[in-house]
Amino acid sequence: MIDEKIADNAEKIAELLDQEGILPFDELLYYTNLEETDLLLALGWLNREKRVQLFPIKERHFNVMLVY
């Protein structure tokens, strides 16, 4: 059940990034209306599948891009 939730959230993020391109973590948090923990879990899921790339900006801030 938890895996399904993480996978659903990951797809929500992937769809948003497909439409918007690169987004900062804070904007992903805002646009998806996910809790920070849920967003981080979903990004981890996408990163494990090599579907996103993370670009550090400064401490605790990064941009996220969908990989095709």
Mean predicted confidence (pLDDT) in 48-64? 92
Can you list the alpha helix ranges (DSSP code H) found in the chain? Answer: 2-20, 25-32, 36-48
Mean predicted confidence (pLDDT) in 1-25? 95
Residue 1 confidence class, pLDDT cut points 50, 70, 90: confident
Check which CATH number belongs to the domain holding 38 and give it.
Answer: 1.10.10.10
Mean predicted confidence (pLDDT) in 22-31? 96
Q: For helices 36-48 and 2-20, give the axis angle rounded to 10 degrees.
A: 80
Which pair of tokens denotes residue 64? Answer: 């996220």
Split into its structural domains, the chain has a count of: 1
Which pair of tokens denotes residue 16? Answer: 């948003």
β-strand partners of 55: 63
The confidence score (pLDDT) of residue 61 equals 87
The confidence score (pLDDT) of residue 3 equals 92
Provide the residue range defining the domain that includes 48. 2-66
pTM, whole model, 2 decimals?
Answer: 0.91
